[in-house]
């Protein structure tokens, strides 16, 4: 008959030191990998100041989370390997009593982490200029730039772009170029841009992914968001709010081009729309649209019997599905 | 309750829920696939697609919904569908009969013709007696806010095609509109609009829709016919030529 002897256990202090060293090495390696290898590929990229900040934020959060996750995993695996029950060892584990040091360390550690994330997140929401999010009609954190009636390449003029959402397309209006409108978003690199996001029907969301801009498009609301494009390239614009059956197809593409190319494009579209007459047919530029008011026709139009169904509506009043 | 009884009840409940889900999915998918597709074949690198949009339709469920019809190229019959197929890399000549009355565009930007060959459409307007008010007017803008001449739009956003669809003029829109679908040119005021565009060089399904969500009277957006296949939105199936 053979007897199984339980090997001598290392002291508690050595356990702690071992776990700490393993955790330290793995955490350092993970943080370095996250920061130098992963961060450059993190969404949404670095095409604008807002996007760079978001990429930085995600990387900081990952670096903050990695040591915590690694500590949990190291402790878990270490426990399984070192403190597992040996064959033939049927004895109970040692009783555990309260440990003030462990409890205090846990409370202090988690408090520090949560407060750090709170302060960091709040600071990063403020800069730059609202972090690319819609700030409503009266922004608190504004982007530096000169408010002008016209935009000139090479200046620090703020470019105004009105984003008009409707089921299921985005259009873009440029008040500094005669109020011309386009189905494509063009922006000049290195220029502070103010988006005025609104909707003509239901709630949409303007999400210019690579620029790190996301702002809800609400009917009759001017939702302001800021961005400064920092690199040339294409931008994917998607609706990020479920808005009906073709919500998934509500996307188009934008382009960040050089300031001179933008000037040429915008002036060209303006001239073309002046020539076709559509520029004169657009309503006066306003920060929000009220689709119940058609200035050139007046409010009486929908009251004319026979126009698009009874009394201007597609549905008779008796139809129970009248929206 | 025994374990076996509980397990049986659980299995039955799962089967019922999954079955209901499958039924609902098949019901709606089946309803969509029941729509016929009108196939247009190219001749000399071109196809001629003929559409009409009416103030109502001849369906039993929603007869008061405004609706498109597609003309079968062989029988010349009007089919109540919004699905049609055309070859890739082909010039599509669209003839569109507008029988519905005018409605102000919510965004008058779409009064501008975009994506057609030449960036224009050619429009004629007739009254119920066949008198021609506007004759073969080629234009790049049909101002939907100044003269009340736009009924709807025909838009294929993925191809950049945005076309305002002409309506009978304002007085005719207010009176004597076609009241029985599919409408005919005889005895009804209407607008006749033609334009052309190129299909892409690859196959695919392209959504087309109207961008007038029930005119100026609705804040609620594209409800009812505006987001229902077979009425005011459809799919153009581009097939390999």
Contact call for residues B42 and B32 (beta carbons, < 8 A) = no
Q: With contacts defined as CB-CB under 8 Å, which chain A residues touch B213?
A: 166-167, 200-201
Closest alpha carbon to B240 in B214, B202, B207? B202
> What are the two backbone dihedrals, phi and then psi, of residue A260, each rounded to the nearest 5 degrees?
-70, -40
Share of chain B above pLDDT 70, in %: 89
Closest Cα to residue A51, out of A151, A145, A167, A133?
Answer: A133
B38-239 topology per CATH? Immunoglobulin-like (2.60.40)
| CA–CA–CA angle B10, B11, B13 (5° rounding) | 65
Q: Cα A9 to the chain's mean position, in Å?
A: 52
Given a cut of 80, is residue B197 above it in pLDDT? yes
The C-alpha atoms of residue A277 and residue A280 are separated, in whole angstroms, by 6
- Could you give the CA distance from residue A299 to residue B110 in angstroms, rounded to a whole number? 20
Confidence of residue A201 (pLDDT cuts 50, 70, 90): confident
What is the chain B residue with the closest CA to A312? Answer: B217
Contact A314 B225 (CB under 8 A): yes
Residue ranges per domain, chain B? 1-34, 38-239
pLDDT value of position A148 = 87
Please indicate if any CB of chain B lies within 8 Å of the CB of A137.
no
**Residue keyed to tokens 């670095």:** A46
The model's confidence at residue A299, banded by pLDDT at 50, 70 and 90, is very low
- A159-281: CATH, from 3.40.50.12590, 3.30.160.270, 3.40.50.300, 2.60.40.420: 2.60.40.420
- 8 Å CB contact of A314 and B224: yes
Closest CA relative to residue A24, chosen from A78, A66, A81, A80: A66
For residue A273, the distance in angstroms to the closest alpha carbon of chain B comes to 9
Are A141 and A135 in contact by the 8 Å Cβ rule? The answer is yes
Residues 3-32 of A with CB under 8 A from B: none
DSSP letter assigned to residue B183: P
- Which of B:106-145 have CB within 8 Å of A? 106-109, 111-112, 114, 119, 140-141, 143, 145
Question: Which residue is it, tokens 């502070």?
Answer: A192
Of the pLDDT bands very low, low, confident and very high (cuts 50, 70, 90), residue A245 is confident
Nearest to A167 among B109, B151, B222 (CB): B222
Tens digits of residue pLDDT in A309-321:
333 333 333 333 3
Give residues with Cβ within 8 angstroms of B28, minimum separation 6. none
Q: Which residues in chain B have Cβ-Cβ distances shorter than 8 Å to A218? A: none
Q: Which of A173, A241, A248, A281 is the mutation pick for testing B, counting most B CBs within 10 A?
A: A281
pLDDT band at B24 (very low <50, low <70, confident <90, very high): confident
Nearest to A161 by CA among A136, A187, A141, A200: A187
Entry field: residues in chain A = 323
Residue A309 pLDDT:
36
Q: Tell which B residues from 27 to 66 touch A, by Cβ distance under 8 Å.
A: 55, 64-66
What chain A residue is nearest to B149 in terms of C-alpha separation? A307
The one-character DSSP state at A48 is B
Does the pLDDT at position A190 exceed 60?
Answer: yes
The average confidence (pLDDT) of chain A is 85
Q: Exposed (0-12), middle (13-18) or buried (19+): which is A124, by Cβ within 10 Å?
A: middle
For A173, residues 6+ apart whose C-beta sits below 8 A from its C-beta are: A161, A162, A164, A179, A180, A181, A182, A282, A285, B109
More confident residue, B213 or A282: A282
Sign for the pseudo-dihedral over CA of A26, A28, A34, A37: negative
Mean pLDDT, range A7-30, rounded to an integer: 82
pTM over 0.90: no
N- to C-terminal Cα separation, chain A? 86
Among A194, A259, A230, A256, CA closest to A48: A230
């Amino acid at each position: 008959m053979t007897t199984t002897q339980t090997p001598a256990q290392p002291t508690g202090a050595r356990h702690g030191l071992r776990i700490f060293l393993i955790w330290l090495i793995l955490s350092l390696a993970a943080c370095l990998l996250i920061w130098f290898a992963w961060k450059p590929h993190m969404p949404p990229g670095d095409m604008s100041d807002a996007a760079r900040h978001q990429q930085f934020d995600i990387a900081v959060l990952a670096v903050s989370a990695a040591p915590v996750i690694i500590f949990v995993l190291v402790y878990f695996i270490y426990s399984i390997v070192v403190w597992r029950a040996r064959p033939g060892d049927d004895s109970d584990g040692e009783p555990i009593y309260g440990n003030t040091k462990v409890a205090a360390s846990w409370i202090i550690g988690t408090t520090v982490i949560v407060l750090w994330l709170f302060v960091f997140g709040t600071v990063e929401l403020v800069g730059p200029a609202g972090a690319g999010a819609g700030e409503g009609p009266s922004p608190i954190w504004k982007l530096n730039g000169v408010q002008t009636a016209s935009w000139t390449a090479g200046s620090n003029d703020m470019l105004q772009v009105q984003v008009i959402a409707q089921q299921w397309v985005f259009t873009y209006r440029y008040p500094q170029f005669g109020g011309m409108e386009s189905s494509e978003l063009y922006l000049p690199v290195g220029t502070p841009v103010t988006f005025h996001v609104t909707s003509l029907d239901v709630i949409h969301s303007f999400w210019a992914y690579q620029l790190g801009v996301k702002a809800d498009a609400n009917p009759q609301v001017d939702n302001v968001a800021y961005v400064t494009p920092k690199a040339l390239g294409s931008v994917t614009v998607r609706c990020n709010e479920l808005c009906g059956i073709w919500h998934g197809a509500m996307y188009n593409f934008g382009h960040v081009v050089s300031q001179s190319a933008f000037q040429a494009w915008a002036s060209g579209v303006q001239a073309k729309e002046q020539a076709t007459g559509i520029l004169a047919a657009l309503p006066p530029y306003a920060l929000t649209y009220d689709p119940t008011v058609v200035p050139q026709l007046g409010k009486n139009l929908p009251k004319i019997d026979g126009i698009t169904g009874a009394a201007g509506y597609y549905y008779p009043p008796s139809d129970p599905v009248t929206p | 309750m025994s374990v076996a009884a509980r397990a049986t009840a659980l299995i039955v409940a799962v089967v019922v829920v999954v079955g209901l889900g499958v039924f609902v999915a098949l019901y709606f998918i089946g309803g969509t696939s029941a729509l016929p597709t009108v196939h247009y074949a190219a001749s000399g690198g071109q196809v001629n697609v003929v559409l009409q949009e009416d103030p109502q339709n001849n369906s039993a469920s929603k007869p008061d919904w405004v609706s498109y019809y597609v003309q079968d190229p062989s029988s010349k019959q009007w089919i109540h569908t919004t699905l049609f197929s055309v070859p890739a890399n082909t010039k599509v000549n669209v003839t569109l009969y507008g029988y519905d009355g005018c409605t102000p565009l919510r965004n008058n930007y779409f009064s501008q013709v975009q994506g057609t060959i030449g960036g224009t459409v050619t429009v004629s307007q007739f009254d119920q007696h066949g008198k021609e008010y506007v004759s073969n007017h080629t234009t790049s803008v049909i101002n939907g806010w100044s003269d009340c001449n736009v009924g709807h739009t025909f838009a294929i956003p993925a191809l950049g095609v945005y076309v305002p669809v002409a309506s009978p003029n304002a007085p005719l829109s207010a009176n004597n509109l076609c009241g029985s679908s599919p409408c005919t040119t005889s005895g009804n005021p209407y607008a006749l609009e033609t334009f052309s565009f190129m299909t892409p060089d690859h196959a695919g399904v392209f959504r087309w829709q109207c961008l007038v969500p029930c005119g100026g009277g609705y804040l609620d957006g594209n409800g009812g016919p505006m987001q229902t296949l077979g009425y005011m939105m459809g799919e153009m199936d581009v097939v390999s030529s």
